[in-house]
Amino acid sequence: MNPLPRTIEWVGDLPGHVRLIDQTLLPTSLEYRDCHTVEQVWEAIKLLRVRGAPAIGVAAAMGVVVGVQRHTGAGTFAHRLHEVADYLRTSRPTAVNLFWAIDRVLRRIESRLHNSPPEILARLLLEEALTIETEDRAMCLAIGLAGASLIGEGQGVLTHCNAGGLATAAYGTAIAVMYAAAEQGKRFSVYADETRPLLQGARLTTWELMQADIDVTLICDNMAAQVMREGRVQLVIVGADRIAANGDTANKIGTYGVAVLAKAHGIPFYVAAPSSTFDLSIRDGSAIPIEQRDPREITHAFGKATAPDGVRVYNPAFDVTPAELIAGIITEKGVIAPVNERLIRERLSFVSEPRTK
């Protein structure tokens, strides 16, 4: 698979910094943003300069390193570490990868926190953050291979939001499946929902697929039903931000509606996600925190007023698709189908760990 330019990377040694593609500028401009402070990493996550659950996880892990790497004085390193971790946890609430990645880097130094010098601790944190990034690439490749056979020759595949290389360390999840199928020589066409209000589908998914020479057609979100009725779509694949133990899946707002439409038209609806997106500490989707975002994303998206001043706005960034609407979850460990708690636990061999948030 041909990866895009690096979504996110660590630059230099220690001290170093985070470099990420500023996804708010795509598709008109491909620019990198360097984050030298934890505040800059927090802002990049909050404003969706870096976005997509796995990419947010990598950014948060590297953000921890940025936040502590210049800290000297062994006594207060632990205090600073927890301050930085707690701060990064406030950037976005829904994608569990963020909390998973922060917990993971903290665990790496837990036993040495009070008896090792700061330079050693910072190096171990960086090692762990880089491992998360490397593992994410490998998981996305495996997801692509696990799901490729689901795409049949000549089919139409609909996706929502962007679950591509930009949303992960590389390749993506839902889009990794498309990359893998294309690499196997299959011909198929993709319908990309534009994904209101921030247009991740229009700005990012089409951009990625066009670079990979995969046939893609952009549609407005409210066209999906008509496109399905016309028989243009035989499969839906989307990504995920958090999957509860029973398989209920939070993903970009609008995903639930697509799942309902797919059900009504007899079209299989698949979720593609790495094991880092599962949150087995919660039983079902009702416990998934849904991010509420700035009303101006709806009333003034991309700088132009599209609604009267002062109008009341509701802007949840995610919704939850119930497990019963999901035909299968494509993971790096294979496809989980049917979707239920027993099979999820069995396939992932997860020991449920309590999350910090």
Among 251, 276, 299, 331, binds ligand MRU (CB under 6 A): 251
Binding to ligand MRU by CB under 6 A, coded x per residue (else -) over 168-197, reads x---xx------------------------
Phi, psi of 89 (to 5 degrees): -65, -20
Residue whose beta carbon is closest to ligand MRU: 239
Map residues 54-93 to x or -, x wherever contact with ligand MRU holds by CB under 6 A: x---------------------------------------
Applying CB under 6 A, among 221, 241, 248, 319 the residue interacting with ligand MRU is 241
Distances 256 to 127, 160, 197, 206, 323 between C-alpha atoms, Å = 37, 10, 16, 21, 11
Distance CA 270, CA 14 (A): 41
Phi and psi torsions of 200, nearest 5°: -60, -35
**How many residues contact ligand MRU, by CB under 6 A?**
19
| Beta strands across the sheet bearing 32-35 | 8-11, 17-21, 32-35
CB of 54 to ligand MRU, least distance (A): 6
Site membership for ligand MRU, residue 331 (CB under 6 A): no
Least distance in angstroms from the C-beta of 32 to ligand MRU? 18
CA atoms of 186 and 47, how far apart (whole Å): 37
User: Among 104, 196, 203, 252, which residue interacts with ligand MRU (rule: CB under 6 A)?
Assistant: 252
Rg of the chain, C-alpha, whole Å: 20
Which residue lies nearer to ligand MRU by CB, 54 or 93?
Answer: 54
Q: Should residue 240 be labelled a site residue for ligand MRU when binding is judged by CB under 6 A? A: yes
Name the residue type at position 355. Answer: R
Q: Please, what is the minimum distance in Å from the beta carbon of residue 239 to ligand MRU?
A: 3
- Count of residues making up the chain: 357
The span from the CA of 32 to the CA of 8, in Å, is 9
- Nearer of residues 53 and 157 to ligand MRU, judged by Cβ: 53
- For position 98 contacting ligand MRU by CB under 6 A, the verdict is no
* Residues whose CB falls within 8 Å of the CB of residue 140, separated by 6 or more in sequence, listed in order: 54, 165, 168, 169, 170, 171, 172, 173, 176, 274, 332
From 106-114, 142-150, 163-171, 302-310, span contacting ligand MRU (CB under 6 A)? 163-171
The answer to whether 8 contacts ligand MRU (rule: CB under 6 A) is: no
Q: Is 159 in the site for ligand MRU (CB under 6 A)?
A: no
241 flagged as catalytic: yes
CA-wise closest residue to 273 among 241, 321, 302, 305: 241
DSSP 288-343: SPPPB--THHHHSGGG---S-TT-----BSEEEE-GGG-SEEEETTEEE-S--HHH
Distance of closest approach, residue 349 Cβ to ligand MRU, in angstroms: 22
Other C-beta atoms lying within 10 Å of the C-beta of residue 347: 17
Least distance in angstroms from the C-beta of 75 to ligand MRU: 37
- Identify the residue among 95, 142, 219, 348 touching ligand MRU (CB under 6 A): 95
Partners of residue 328 on adjacent β-strands: 270
Three-class SS of residue 154? coil
Contact assessment for residue 225 and residue 193, using Cβ atoms and an 8 Å cutoff: no
In whole angstroms, the minimum distance from the beta carbon of 252 to ligand MRU comes to 3
161 lies in the binding site for ligand MRU (CB under 6 A): yes
Determine, following the binding rule CB under 6 A, whether residue 165 of this chain makes contact with ligand MRU.
Answer: no
Q: How far is the CB of 21 from ligand MRU (least distance, A)?
A: 13
Choosing from 136, 193, 221, 241, the catalytic residue is: 241
Task: Please say whether the beta carbons of 253 and 323 come within 8 A.
Answer: no
Catalytic residue IDs: 241
Binding site for ligand MRU (CB under 6 A): 48, 51-54, 95, 161, 163, 167-168, 172-173, 200, 239-241, 251-252, 317
